[in-house]
């Protein structure tokens, strides 16, 4: 039976992915900050689960906790890092910037490092990171969020190059969602906000196909292209 760990499994995309992989008989390590939601999800899933309550930004605890979970589960086929936060921060409040960096940069890196060490040790595996379409350009209303997502995407590319040079069957997938109907979708005038089940199904299939980079949902490919080519003097007026 295949085994997967989903970091950030208590809600949104992470939770929906847990249900989808359970439907394919995966044993699942469920990691999240809210213990009650973890327990609830564990009772819904019929395959074997390994619930673990932790905050990835607390790296003194989260690193050894993930290492212990991996040792308990044994060989792990896929690790998905879906945990992340985002705040609109037009006033540049340090509390919001710091919180975003601690989770999306520090916490993500810690989880990715533990995951990669395991995959290098076992000689195979698949690491999936959830970045964002926001990784493509900066933002005046959420500067730390967009920058943190660019960091995630760039870090995943670096790991992809690393395993390519090592010539090992280790796969790295960068998922870049547009606006999904979760707590992360904030602000006025939002458009193309997609339901979580639809987005999760596309992510699920992309992971199973071991894609390198995926925009979710597919219509956001157009937005990604426009963001990449739009001159700065036009972009800053948006």
Ranges of each domain in the chain: 3-235
Q: Which of 76, 67, 81, 73 is nearest to 32 (CA)?
A: 81
DSSP 216: E
pLDDT in tens, 137-152: 999 999 999 999 999 9
pLDDT of residue 220: 86
The second-level CATH assignment, the architecture, of 3-235 is 3-Layer(aba) Sandwich (3.40)
Residue with the two structure tokens 């209303």: 141
Q: How far apart are CA 182 and CA 168, in angstroms?
A: 35
pLDDT at 185 over 70: no
Report percent pLDDT > 90 for the chain: 79
Q: Comparing 25-29, 210-214, 228-232, which segment has the lowest mean pLDDT?
A: 228-232
């Amino acid at each position: 039976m295949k085994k997967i760990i989903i970091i950030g499994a208590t809600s949104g995309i992470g939770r929906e992915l847990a249900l989808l992989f359970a439907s394919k008989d995966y044993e699942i390590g469920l990691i999240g900050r809210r213990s009650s939601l973890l327990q609830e999800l564990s009772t819904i899933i019929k395959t074997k689960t390994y619930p673990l309550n932790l905050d990835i930004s607390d790296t003194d605890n989260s690193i050894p906790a993930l290492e212990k979970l991996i040792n308990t589960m044994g060989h792990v086929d896929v690790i998905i890092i879906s945990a992340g936060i985002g705040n609109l921060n037009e006033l540049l409040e340090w509390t919001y910037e710091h919180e975003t960096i601690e989770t999306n940069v520090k916490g993500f890196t810690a989880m990715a490092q533990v995951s990669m060490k395991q995959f290098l040790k076992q000689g195979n595996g698949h690491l999936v990171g959830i970045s964002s379409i926001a990784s493509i350009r900066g933002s005046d209303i959420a500067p730390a969020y967009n920058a943190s997502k660019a960091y995630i995407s760039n870090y995943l590319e670096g790991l992809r190059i690393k395993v390519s040079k090592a010539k090992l069957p280790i796969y790295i997938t960068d998922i870049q969602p547009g606006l999904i109907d979760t707590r992360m979708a904030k602000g006025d005038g939002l458009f193309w906000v997609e339901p979580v089940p639809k987005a999760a199904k596309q992510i699920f299939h992309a992971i199973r196909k071991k894609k390198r980079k995926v925009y979710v949902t597919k219509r956001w490919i157009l937005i990604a292209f426009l963001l990449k080519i739009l001159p700065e003097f036009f972009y800053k007026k948006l």
